[in-house]
Amino acid sequence: MDPAHDYRPIRALSFWVLFSAGFIGLVVLNLDLNASSAETSTNPVTDKANGLSFLSGILAGIWSRSLTNAYGLMMITAGLGCLLYAAAQWVALERESGFDAPPATDATHAMLPARTSFLHLITGRPFVEPALLAAEKTHLDTGVNMLLYPLRYGQTLFPAVGFIGTVLGISGAVRDLPKVIEDQSLDGLMAGLYVAFDTTFLGLVVAALLGISLVLLDLSHARLKSVRMVTRSP
């Protein structure tokens, strides 16, 4: 296969998800996630007087609970990995827009040295000279869109994954209803409801952030194409 057309978006996305998993693992190891950290404020007068503090308490609760729940932890890891992948794509597009190079030819697809190939590993772009890649018609027309496919699918999948968490959480809450009736214990019921609502929130927030990222990436892609059209014009 022509190295100029060897795109590996899944490999790059996997790298960022694994990177996120390591980062989140360090966060979990270094945070003191006790029961009190998951509680929100219980003073309604203070909460009404200070809406920002109330909101930050809710967000802190969702964050801490998600780090102690396997499903929420999976969503945070995957979401952070997708956002880091989007950031890497944006940096690469902005970098390509700054190159002032003539259109590439079939004879100029030189392989990159090892010290510069890392950028291509984490973005899924081919292992060719960046300036030449930026001038490739295939890259401008289809290559960038191929790199953005995982983000477009992720924007659709994350709300669905969040709603699956909602169903699982409500199912767990219903399962613990007999304990509520018999023992008057709300722990199991509340844990299920927390999972249900927290995963829905995470799915919608990640999807919204991916949507914003895609808008910025599409604008950068359009800018790159406009720059290359000017470069090619006589």
pLDDT, residue 217, reads 96
State yes or no: pLDDT of 133 exceeds 60.
yes
Find all residues with CB under 8 Å of 57, minimum gap 6, and list them: 40, 41, 47
Three-state secondary-structure class, residue 128: strand
Closest CA to 226 of 96, 116, 75: 96
Q: What percentage of residues in the chain have a pLDDT greater than 90?
A: 35
| Angle CA 132–121–12, to nearest 5 | 120
Q: What is the pLDDT of residues 40-88, one digit of tens each?
A: 444 444 444 455 676 677 778 888 888 888 899 999 999 999 999 999 9
pTM equals: 0.80
